[in-house]
Amino acid sequence: MRRWWLVVAVAGLALGFARDASACCQLGGTTCGDPFAVDCNNGVVCFIPWRTCNNCTCTTTAGGKTCLPTNAEPGTVPTLTVSRSASQPGSLDLAWGASCSASGPTYAVYEGAIGTWYSHEARLCSVAALFATLSPFGGNRYYLVAPVAGSFTGSLGSGPAGAERPDGSSSCAADRALAPCP
């Protein structure tokens, strides 16, 4: 009886190593984004009852971890530049670098009050371009830009200690998907 379990374990390990390195393990179906995906391990061996989801990325969401298609990750915005608008006095021009995501996300612009950290709220949602002009609220303000893909907002950047910035008082998408860019 013990030999039989050893053979099954070795065969499962061998099959696991032969799988796509970008695979995720999830509970439920084998389609990326299965609503029953409760855990994944970046392509390491999936043992029963876990199933492999190939070409997916292990993603942290508000509900835990899930597997999303590799090309559906919102990603992160690498740079943001804010300057006075030459065309609209009293407004600001924001320009940012494209997300590392291959999915071609739209972008969300957030504004908050300096000194009241994490007070940011969504000002613009579904911006298709890599720039926007807006009239700021009064006082000293800060701005964040995040990519949006489907119902997921990507990274809002990280704070000085390297921790991901949390959502503010309002968001442009139902959930966050935080994963390194493919």
Residue extents of the structural domains in the chain: 2-70, 80-176
Q: Six-digit token pair at 11?
A: 């065969």
In this structure, the strands spanning 56-61 and 64-69 are antiparallel
Under 8 Å CB-to-CB from 104, ≥6 apart: which residues?
none
Q: Does the structural domain 80-176 have CATH classification 2.60.40?
A: yes
- Collect the ranges in the chain with pLDDT lower than 70: 1-50, 52, 54, 63, 179-182
Say what the pLDDT of residue 7 is: 36
Judge contact between 68 and 149, C-beta under 8 A. no
Predicted local distance difference test score (pLDDT) of residue 61: 74
Residue 113 is predicted with a pLDDT of 95
Residue at 161: amino acid letter:
A
Predicted local distance difference test score (pLDDT) of residue 22: 46
pLDDT tens, 143-158?
Answer: 999 999 888 888 898 8
- Please state the pTM of the whole predicted model: 0.73
pLDDT at 173: 87
Q: Say how far apart CA 87 and CA 76 lie, in whole Å.
A: 28
**pLDDT on residue 178:** 79
- Give the per-residue pLDDT at 161: 86
Specify the pairing of strand 51-53 against strand 24-26.
Answer: antiparallel
CB 134 within 8 A of CB 94: yes
